């Protein structure tokens, strides 16, 4: 099947599930949290991906005061930051990051800066010079704030940016920001992104003479 070609001025990259496979840690920590709160761990895992922890907690415990979610989230972040066992790069991520090193891109993650550094480091991936982490936004994905801030930091209009995301919340955030979305991995397959790949080995990056980025995407 011929490759789909998408053109952009900048790339906005989610981390967990997109660049870094941290599912093992996420599942360990959230199963423990769900069990401690009398919840079904399997049901909890359906909503944890892509959101900040406090937002996940608000979905799962809607009657609990938000202050308790914020406090619990601080504990969860510390626990996740300390646990990098099983954190590995998504297939093709090292080569993909090398290919875009000199091109406009930013990390837009629901992790805080410490967790982002821990996971990117564990996966041996370079940390983008520009990044939007949890501390810099007032609302978690699926709110588009993080992606809009990322585009503004790079100096490009939303319509000229392409988002790479794996989760329902993240893809919804990218769409709400007015950006095109490349879905990465199994969670994204059913969410009708503009293009979908199993992993980043399916993408070839080309820097055009006019400064734009051409993505050659072999979807299948």
Confirm whether 16 is a catalytic residue: yes
Do the strands 213-217 and 203-207 form a parallel or antiparallel pair, or are they unpaired? antiparallel
Q: Helix, strand, coil % (nearest 5) of the chain?
A: 45, 20, 35
Tokens of 114: 């410490």
Tokens of 59: 């979905």
Confirm whether 166 is a catalytic residue: no
**For helices 66-82 and 113-122, what crossing angle results, to 10°?**
30
The answer to whether the beta carbons of residues 103 and 9 sit under 8 Å apart is no
Q: Give the residue from 116, 50, 47 showing the smallest Cα distance to 81.
A: 116
**Which positions are catalytic?**
14, 16
């Amino acid at each position: 099947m011929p490759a789909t070609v998408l053109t952009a001025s900048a790339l906005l990259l989610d981390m967990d599930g997109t660049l870094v496979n941290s599912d093992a840690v996420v599942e360990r920590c959230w199963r423990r949290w769900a069990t401690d709160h009398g919840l079904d761990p399997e049901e909890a895992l359906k909503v944890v991906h892509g959101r900040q922890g406090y937002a996940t907690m608000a979905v799962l415990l809607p009657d609990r005061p938000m202050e308790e979610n914020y406090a619990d989230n601080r504990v969860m972040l510390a626990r996740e930051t300390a646990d990098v066992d099983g954190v590995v790069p998504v297939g093709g991520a090292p080569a993909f990051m090398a290919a875009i090193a000199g091109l406009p891109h930013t990390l837009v993650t629901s992790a805080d800066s410490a967790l982002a550094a821990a996971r990117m480091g564990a996966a041996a991936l370079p940390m983008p010079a520009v990044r939007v982490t949890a501390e810099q936004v007032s609302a978690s994905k699926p709110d588009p704030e993080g992606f809009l801030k990322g585009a503004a930091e790079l100096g490009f209009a939303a319509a000229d940016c392409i988002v790479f995301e794996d989760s329902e919340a993240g893809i919804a955030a990218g769409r709400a920001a007015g950006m095109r979305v490349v879905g990465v991995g199994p969670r994204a397959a059913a969410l009708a992104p503009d293009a979908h790949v199993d992993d980043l080995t399916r993408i070839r990056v080309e820097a055009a003479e006019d400064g734009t980025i051409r993505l050659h995407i072999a979807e299948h």
